């Protein structure tokens, strides 16, 4: 469902993701990268020394000269015993150096890879938190989570393992190639004869593997989305006894992933032994030609003698080919994953933010709380108009109530004030500023919002009241809770204000969560208050308590209240009755009752007086979009 998403649109336009990744995130850490590469090269070169020393020692024992590539013979001692000790020192020193360089390489490569991963993750989150509400309306949670976790991990794996693995492989091939040529060019050609075949085989593998990796990634994404959805909907699954249905759905997605993984692995398992076989061919050829040279005489085209020690070194070194080459499939695997992951990362980063801070935005300071909706029209995305030419004014300190049938556009109206979305036409002004001209932070910090459902972060009750005013003292938190009629129930918990609320606040009742949300607003003390059916989800007794605290909260600040229970907004300065995105009636409670319109009918319904309803009542209150 989320597969064909806004992500795909921007992902498709990401150009050269890996280059961009290096330019944007690699650059500040190039020092670590360079150190890692150099240490890696040195470690590889040091590890080539023991077979060469072994070869030289064997030569000496056969009465031939003890020589090492790149080491001038004049520096070497001539006696057998000093040469023995020198060999021991060389071999010991080579292992020591390999160890030290491998350590340096490990530290540097990880600093680089994890540094990039950390920066990418934080930037992705920062970008995500600035994205428009409409992005979240499309429910991209699973996809966004997987970018923040598994995609950044893929990048880390590639930068840490594969990139340095590739460097190591290159260093190994280069180092072995050079050493072999220095030792014996003829035999070196024989040993390296299979290298072009290996390259062709690798190319073939990469071409075949690419679509298989893509298929696997896609089924992995689908499975994640499925799991995300199934876990989020566990309550519905249980209440409708649909566990087996959900399991079947997960089984289907998991089976697809299994099959795609197996097709990929079948190719991969074919490649790895294939490379090992080619490395074996290289070894056998070296053995064949070198052995022939030693036992029979110079092979066609070769001149001179082959020393036994040189032959031993060759055999050891040509064996070294196999392991790093077999790693190529891992490197390709991780490269493909990282490429797709950086596409996803930059796909997210490239999503444009519509509702953003204006350039040179004004700070809304000391708002008085005058709010004007001036001929406001709004539609979500490109769909039909939800608010249609609405105008009204709320003077500082006034309460404006919005009532009307479900789907009429009441919540949408208030979301426009918070700039969760921008108006399509007209403007919303606070203290004579078009809200699009002031900074988002200063606008929102002047508005307190209590919705139908309250989200609480996992943490303590005090943390949740303090959310948004993080420096508030314990005393201020308690006072706010008292004003929100929450102090009493909070203190009845054994841990009081330090009680942990559980994920999303599940350990508290709806009414308790709502009172915590109100306490949060009281503490914040905003000039504007938005109450979107703040009491709809609670019982009558709690509603009474909440209403009491809301009444005192709204007494001296501009308040917008949406209510289905009309008794809660009876005292509002102005009541706007909305139908199909338009304000069809306006006035205070008395005026609206006397007009005998929809408001008066709704009031009759709530008073239980169904007899007096006009015939068209039902058709007016039924949401046509349902
Ligand atoms: N995020 C959204 N994306 C697209 N359309 C939306 C979105 N939210 C609401 N709508 C549509 O906008 C219209 C107005 O919805 P809104 O929530 O503002 O109505 P409401 O009057 O507050 O309803 P209720 O009283 O049921 O909360 C509805 O037709 C709804 O389907």
Give the whole-angstrom CA distance, residue 616 versus residue 522. 42
Determine the atom of ligand 1 nearest the C-alpha atom of 412: 18
pLDDT for 177 equals 84
pLDDT for 267 equals 87
The better pLDDT of the pair 497, 609 is held by 497
pLDDT for 503 equals 66
| 1, pLDDT greater than 60 | no
Ligand 1 neighbours, Cβ below 6 Å, are 137, 380, 386, 406-412, 625
pLDDT for 218 equals 79
Residue nearest to atom 4 of ligand 1 (CA): 380
Determine which helix (DSSP H) or strand (DSSP E) holds 48, and give its type and residue range.
helix 30-61
∠ CA 600-604-610 to the nearest 5 degrees? Answer: 130
* Residue whose CB lies within 8 A of the most ligand 1 atoms, among 409, 413, 598, 621, for a mutation test: 409
Ligand 1 centroid distance, CA of 373 (Å): 18
Contact between 428 and 371 under an 8 Å Cβ cutoff? The reply is yes
Percentage of the chain exceeding pLDDT 90:
31
Residue nearest to atom 14 of ligand 1 (CA): 409
In order of start, what are the domains of the chain with their CATH numbers?
6-349 (1.20.1560.10)
**Mean pLDDT calculated for residue range 533-556:** 78
pLDDT for 258 equals 96
pLDDT for 583 equals 92
Give the whole-angstrom CA distance, residue 7 versus residue 20. 18
pLDDT for 394 equals 93
Ligand 1 centroid distance, CA of 402 (Å): 14
Give the whole-angstrom CA distance, residue 486 versus residue 482. 6
Give the whole-angstrom CA distance, residue 546 versus residue 606. 20
| 147, pLDDT greater than 70 | yes
Contact between 549 and 483 under an 8 Å Cβ cutoff? The reply is yes
Q: How confident is the model at residue 355 (pLDDT cuts 50, 70, 90)?
A: confident
Give the per-residue SS3 of 597-610: CHHHHHHHHHCCCC
∠ CA 621-623-626 to the nearest 5 degrees? Answer: 150
Give the whole-angstrom CA distance, residue 402 versus residue 412. 11
Ligand 1 centroid distance, CA of 145 (Å): 26
| 326, pLDDT greater than 70 | no
Contact between 575 and 399 under an 8 Å Cβ cutoff? The reply is no
Describe the strand order of the beta sheet including 574-579 as a list of residue ranges: 447-450, 528-532, 558-562, 399-403, 574-579, 582-587
∠ CA 170-171-175 to the nearest 5 degrees? Answer: 120
Residues with Cβ within 8 Å of residue 430, at least 6 apart in sequence: 364, 367, 369, 370, 371, 417, 438, 443, 446, 528
| 2, pLDDT greater than 50 | no
Listed in sequence order, the DSSP H helices in 320-452 are 322-326, 328-349, 410-417, 440-444
Give the whole-angstrom CA distance, residue 235 versus residue 523. 33
- 435 token code pair: 């809200």
Contact between 23 and 152 under an 8 Å Cβ cutoff? The reply is no
Give the whole-angstrom CA distance, residue 502 versus residue 499. 9
Parallel/antiparallel/unpaired status of strands 425-430 and 385-394: unpaired
Q: Tokens 């080919």 map to which residue?
A: 321
Contact between 168 and 324 under an 8 Å Cβ cutoff? The reply is yes
**Torsion angle defined by CA atoms of residues 56, 57, 63 and 64, in that order, rounded to the nearest 10 degrees:** 10
**Mean pLDDT calculated for residue range 423-452:** 91
Q: How far lies 41's CA from each of 35, 278, 314, 317, 470, in Å?
A: 10, 25, 20, 16, 50
- 326 token code pair: 């077999």
Residue nearest to atom 29 of ligand 1 (CA): 407
- 80 token code pair: 């057998």
Listed in sequence order, the DSSP H helices in 62-147 are 80-130, 133-137, 141-146
| 3, pLDDT greater than 50 | no
Give the per-residue SS3 of 225-268: HHHHHHHHCHHHHHHCCCHHHHHHHHHHHHHHHHHHHHHHHHHH
| 290, pLDDT greater than 80 | yes
Q: How confident is the model at residue 456 (pLDDT cuts 50, 70, 90)?
A: confident
**Mean pLDDT calculated for residue range 449-457:** 84
Burial of residue 455 (number of CB atoms within 10 Å: 0-12, 13-18, 19+): exposed
* Residue whose CB lies within 8 A of the most ligand 1 atoms, among 6, 132, 410, 564, for a mutation test: 410
| 148, pLDDT greater than 60 | yes
Listed in sequence order, the DSSP H helices in 456-579 are 461-466, 474-483, 487-492, 510-524, 540-554
**Mean pLDDT calculated for residue range 596-616:** 78
**Mean pLDDT calculated for residue range 313-332:** 76
Long-range contacts (CB closer than 8 Å, 24 or more residues apart) made by 68-74: 69/179, 69/182, 69/183, 70/182
Q: How confident is the model at residue 323 (pLDDT cuts 50, 70, 90)?
A: low
């Amino acid at each position: 469902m989320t597969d064909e998403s806004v992500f795909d649109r921007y992902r498709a336009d990401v150009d050269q993701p890996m280059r961009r990744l290096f330019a944007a995130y690699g650059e500040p850490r190039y020092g670590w990268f360079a150190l890692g590469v150099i240490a890696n090269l040195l470690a590889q070169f040091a590890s080539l020394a023991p077979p060469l020393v072994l070869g030289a020692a064997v030569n000496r024992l056969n009465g031939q000269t003890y020589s090492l590539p790149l080491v001038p013979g004049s520096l070497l001692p001539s006696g057998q015993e000093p040469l023995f000790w020198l060999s021991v020192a060389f071999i010991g020193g080579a292992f020591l150096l390999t160890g030290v360089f491998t350590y340096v390489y490990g530290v540097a490569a990880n600093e680089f890879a994890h540094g990039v991963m950390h920066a990418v993750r934080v930037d992705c989150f920062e970008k995500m938190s600035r994205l428009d509400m409409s992005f979240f309306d499309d429910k991209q949670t699973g996809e966004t989570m997987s970018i923040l976790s598994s995609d950044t991990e893929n990048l880390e794996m590639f930068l840490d393992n594969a990139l340095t693995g590739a460097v190591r492989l290159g260093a190994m091939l280069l180092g072995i190639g050079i050493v072999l040529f220095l030792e014996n060019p003829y035999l070196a050609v024989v040993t390296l004869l299979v290298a072009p075949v290996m390259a062709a085989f690798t190319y073939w593998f990469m071409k075949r593997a690419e679509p298989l990796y893509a298929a696997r990634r896609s089924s992995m994404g689908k499975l994640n989305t499925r799991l995300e959805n199934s876990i989020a909907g566990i309550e519905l699954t249980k209440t409708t006894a649909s566990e087996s249905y959900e399991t079947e759905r997960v089984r289907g997605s998991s089976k697809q992933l299994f099959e795609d993984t197996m097709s990929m692995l079948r190719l991969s398992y074919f490649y790895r032994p294939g490379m090992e076989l080619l490395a074996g061919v290289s070894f056998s050829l070296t053995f064949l030609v070198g052995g022939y040279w030693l036992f029979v005489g110079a092979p066609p085209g070769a001149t001179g003698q082959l020393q036994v020690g040189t032959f031993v070194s060759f055999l050891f070194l040509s064996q070294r080919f196999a392991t790093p080459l077999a790693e190529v499939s891992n490197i390709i695997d991780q490269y493909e994953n990282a490429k797709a992951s950086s596409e996803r990362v930059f796909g997210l980063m490239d999503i444009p933010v519509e509702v953003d801070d204006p350039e040179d935005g004004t700070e809304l300071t000391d708002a008085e709380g005058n709010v004007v909706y001036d001929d406001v029209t709004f539609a979500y995305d490109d769909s039909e108009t939800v608010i249609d030419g609405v105008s009204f004014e709320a003077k500082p300190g006034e309460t404006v109530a919005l009532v009307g049938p479900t789907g009429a556009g009441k919540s949408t109206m208030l979301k426009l004030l918070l700039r969760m979305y921008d108006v399509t036409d007209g403007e919303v002004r606070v203290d004579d500023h078009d809200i699009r001209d002031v900074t988002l932070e200063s606008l929102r910090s002047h508005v307190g919002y209590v919705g139908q459902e309250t989200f609480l972060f996992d943490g303590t009750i005090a943390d949740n009241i303090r959310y948004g005013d993080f420096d508030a003292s314990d005393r201020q938190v308690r006072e706010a809770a008292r004003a929100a009629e929450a102090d009493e129930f909070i203190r009845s918990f054994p841990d009081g204000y330090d009680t942990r609320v559980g994920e999303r606040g599940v350990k508290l009742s709806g009414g308790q969560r709502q009172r915590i949300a109100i306490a949060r607003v009281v503490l914040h003390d905003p000039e504007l208050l938005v109450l979107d059916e703040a009491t709809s989800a609670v019982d009558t007794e709690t509603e009474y308590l909440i209403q009491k605290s809301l009444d005192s909260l709204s007494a001296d600040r501009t308040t917008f209240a949406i209510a289905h229970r009309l008794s809660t907004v009876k005292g509002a300065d102005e009541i706007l009755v909305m139908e199909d995105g338009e304000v069809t009636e306006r006035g205070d409670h008395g005026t609206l009752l006397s007009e005998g319109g929809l408001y008066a009918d709704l009031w009759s319904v709530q008073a239980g007086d169904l007899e007096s309803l006009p015939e068209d009542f039902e058709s007016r209150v039924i949401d046509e979009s349902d």
